[in-house]
Amino acid sequence: DAGITQSPRHKVTETGTPVTLRCHQTENHRYMYWYRQDPGHGLRLIHYSYGVKDTDKGEVSDGYSVSRSKTEDFLLTLESATSSQTSVYFCAISGAYEQYFGPGTRLTVT
């Protein structure tokens, strides 16, 4: 398995609170991604990174921010969580074209 971990694995939070999800890799891959997966929508890209401090928006970036200060870590922050951000969040890494996924974080916003 690709060396990808996500933390926390489960989180319940209240509307309006900030939340940070962490993705950590041991593969030294250049690219890292954050997706959310919802029934009826499949996997949707939130943000991605193509290097340290280099990030860009995906198709559903509103309400999310990211940071990558080290090759191995990619953080996803929900500035003020809303119920519509209840979802399963996956991190993925890639050296070239093939992407490998972390175990996921189940986030519930009440």
Binding residues for another protein (CB under 8 A): 31, 33, 40-45, 48, 50, 56, 58, 90, 94, 96-104
Kindly state the smallest distance separating residue 21's Cβ from another protein, in Å.
14
Kindly state the smallest distance separating residue 83's Cβ from another protein, in Å.
22
Distance CA 109, CA 83 (A): 5
Kindly state the smallest distance separating residue 106's Cβ from another protein, in Å.
9
The answer to whether residues 2 and 93 touch, using CB atoms and an 8 Å cutoff, is yes
Taking residue 76's Cβ as centre, other Cβ atoms within 10 Å add up to: 23
Closer CB to another protein, 12 or 80, in the complex: 12
- Residue for token digits 């949707």? 44
In this structure, what DSSP letter does residue 104 have?
-
Kindly state the smallest distance separating residue 14's Cβ from another protein, in Å.
25
Distances (CA, A) of 48 to 18, 24, 39, 88: 20, 14, 22, 17
Closer CB to another protein, 14 or 43, in the complex: 43
Closer CB to another protein, 15 or 37, in the complex: 37
